[in-house]
Amino acid sequence: MQYPTPRRQIIDYCMKMLDDGLTLGTSGNISVRVDDHVLITPSGVPYPDLTPESICLLDMAGHQLEGDLKPSTEVPFHELIYSRDPKAAAVIHTHPVYGTVAGTLCDSLPLIHYMLAPHGGSVRVADYARFGTQELADNVSAAMAGRKAVLLRNHGAACWGKDLAEAYMLCDYLEWVCKVWVIARTAGTPALLTTDQFEEAMTEITGSGYLPGSRD
């Protein structure tokens, strides 16, 4: 079995994602790119039942090399993110409550808080397509330019980074900003940052090491 350490890290982040309420049941999935391989969670297995052997090993074209279980249905968009963003080495897909709500209300998450800076700016909403399809992967591709996150219309969210720690941090902050925006929108008409205000904050955050992983 190749890559035992990243397999274990994937399981640890799956449990964290579940414990933190960023997804529910068997929904969501996590992958890591190592060299020219992708490790990804299997489809339909409860996270507490995952073992290192149950994580699927794929090549960069999505062909399964190791593992007896069926890989996640979302292999197409994980592989697409890796092919589009050479710095991406971990992808986390969640079904978070506020991120999913926000994805039904806007085409691009408004700049309500500067903690969208680590994501690269206003996170776009990928058009709806059924889970597991190449069409969904294509819609993610159309929404991801210059960002490290997308919202998926009527579905959830996905974030990626140089490692699992960064991808997870982005998922966590994205859900927090979506919660702020959804609650503010429910209460009234929220004030938004101007592009200049946001870019000033983004320069400070990305240049100062304000967040782990934010220097890239």
User: What are the catalytic residues?
Assistant: 74
What gap in Å lies between CA 19 and CA 26, rounded to an integer? Answer: 13
Number of residues binding to Zn ion, judged by CB under 5 A: 1
Q: 71 or 156, CB closer to Zn ion?
A: 156
Q: 103 or 156, CB closer to Zn ion?
A: 156
Q: Which stretch binds Zn ion (CB under 5 A): 1-9, 41-49, 120-128, 149-157?
A: 149-157
Which residue has the closest beta carbon to Zn ion? 156
Residues 127-146, mask of contacts with Zn ion (x by CB under 5 A): --------------------
Range 152-181, binding Zn ion (CB under 5 A): 156
Q: 136 or 202, CB closer to Zn ion?
A: 136
Q: Which stretch binds Zn ion (CB under 5 A): 64-72, 151-159, 182-190, 203-211?
A: 151-159
Taking the complex as a whole, the smallest distance from the CB of residue 55 to Zn ion amounts, in Å, to: 18
Q: Which stretch binds Zn ion (CB under 5 A): 111-119, 132-140, 150-158, 168-176?
A: 150-158
Residues that bind Zn ion (CB under 5 A): 156
